[in-house]
Amino acid sequence: MIVRPVAEGVEVLAPAKLNLFLEILGKRPDGYHELESLMVAVDLYDTLTFADDATGAITFRCDDPSLPTGRDNLVVKAAEVLRADAGCDRGASIALRKAIPAQAGLAGGSSDAAATLVALDRLWDLKTPPGRLSELAGSIGSDVAFFLNGPAAVCRGRGERVEGVPLTGALHFVLLCPPIGLSTVAVYRHVTVPERPRPIGPVVQALAVGGTEALGASLFNRLQPAAEVLEPALSRVRDALSERVGPSLDGSLMSGSGSAYFGLARDRTAAEDAARQLDTLGLGRVRVVTCGP
Ligand code: C5P
């Protein structure tokens, strides 16, 4: 997350995330799934601006008309949760420019919510302790707290227990977003809880050591088969990454609950090479993205 002061107040660049690993450990009594995931933030950003509103109103506008602008939007929810927790009566005018596709497993809405917590905490001069901000993030959505940490972290529980992990260098990816939206709820409903969960250790170790070969070989997402059953067209995206551009990449995977897929490349040139090849297939929007230390 990149936060900077602007004339109106505060501007935040809110990054997308990729899951390099996601395993389900079990189903919880509250209906959520206990999970273990390695997430990284990448340089595909939504842009939010926040201005103080002396009337005390929280107003929100977004350049994507398909998104809700009321409390159904995590930005509005985050603003209200923070304000109630602080017991303050300040207002804000919030504008969101979307670049992160929705229903793609990239957690754009969660990142926007985290950006809202950080920006309004600053704009309203609340000085909320970091631990409290994380708790509020966890109450808004499972992925929100990750974005308060980043750029790389192991997430546990519902996803809200976040432990930062060091990055040894930049990671370069090719990202393919097919024009298919997947409901997170539906994907989790179709997932099979494994009898023997795959351990997260090897992928965390590979990230710590650096290089992309071992990391690419340990990419894993338990939600991917469930998403591909729900949307069989996704298997073409998977095969394009693993077979058509496989030689340019060290591994590929679906992110989160989908529908975006990514390939891990050894360097920027290899990622751009894979992007050029993928672009010719017409399967969706292709980008090169980076996770920097
Ligand atoms: O927490 P969030 O609102 O992002 O979760 C969306 C949905 O995804 C939940 O309602 C639940 O169905 C599913 N989910 C889950 N286990 C998790 C995270 C999300 O079952 N750890």
DSSP one-letter string for 243-291 = IISGGG-SEEEE-TTSS-EEEEESSHHHHHHHHHHHHTTTSSEEEEEEE
Q: Greatest CA span in the chain, whole angstroms? A: 58
Tell me: do 10 and 81 sit in the same domain.
Answer: yes
72 lines ligand 1 (CB under 6 A): no
32 lines ligand 1 (CB under 6 A): yes
Ligand 1 atom nearest the C-alpha of 257 is 8
Contact residues for 179 (Cβ-Cβ < 8 A; gap 6+) = 284
Tell me: do 154 and 201 sit in the same domain.
Answer: no
Tell me: do 62 and 145 sit in the same domain.
Answer: yes
Residue that finishes a domain, picked among 129, 164, 199: 164
Tell me: do 76 and 192 sit in the same domain.
Answer: no
Residue 164: what pLDDT?
Answer: 96
Tell me: do 80 and 109 sit in the same domain.
Answer: yes
Residues 162, 234: Cα–Cα separation, whole Å: 30
Tell me: do 79 and 180 sit in the same domain.
Answer: no
Do residues 218 and 203 lie in contact, with contact meaning Cβ atoms separated by under 8 Å?
A: yes
CA of 122 to the centre of ligand 1 (A): 29
The enclosing domain of 247 has a CATH number of 3.30.70.890
Tell me: do 151 and 52 sit in the same domain.
Answer: yes
Tell me: do 13 and 154 sit in the same domain.
Answer: yes
Domain count, the chain: 2
138 lines ligand 1 (CB under 6 A): no
What's the predicted TM-score (pTM) here?
0.96
Residue that finishes a domain, picked among 138, 164, 190: 164
Residue that finishes a domain, picked among 134, 164, 194: 164
Domain span at 98: 2-164
108 lines ligand 1 (CB under 6 A): no
Q: Identify any residues that bridge with 261 across adjacent strands, giving them in sequence order.
A: 176, 254
Residues 141, 187: Cα–Cα separation, whole Å: 16
Ligand 1 atom nearest the C-alpha of 33 is 16
Tell me: do 180 and 287 sit in the same domain.
Answer: yes
Tell me: do 43 and 98 sit in the same domain.
Answer: yes
CA of 108 to the centre of ligand 1 (A): 15
pLDDT along the chain (293 residues), means of 10: 95 98 96 97 98 95 93 95 95 97 96 98 96 97 95 97 94 97 94 96 96 96 97 96 84 97 96 95 97 85
Residues labelled as active-site residues: 17, 143
Tell me: do 81 and 210 sit in the same domain.
Answer: no
The enclosing domain of 155 has a CATH number of 3.30.230.10
Residues 109, 100: Cα–Cα separation, whole Å: 9
Tell me: do 245 and 122 sit in the same domain.
Answer: no
Residue 245: what pLDDT?
Answer: 75
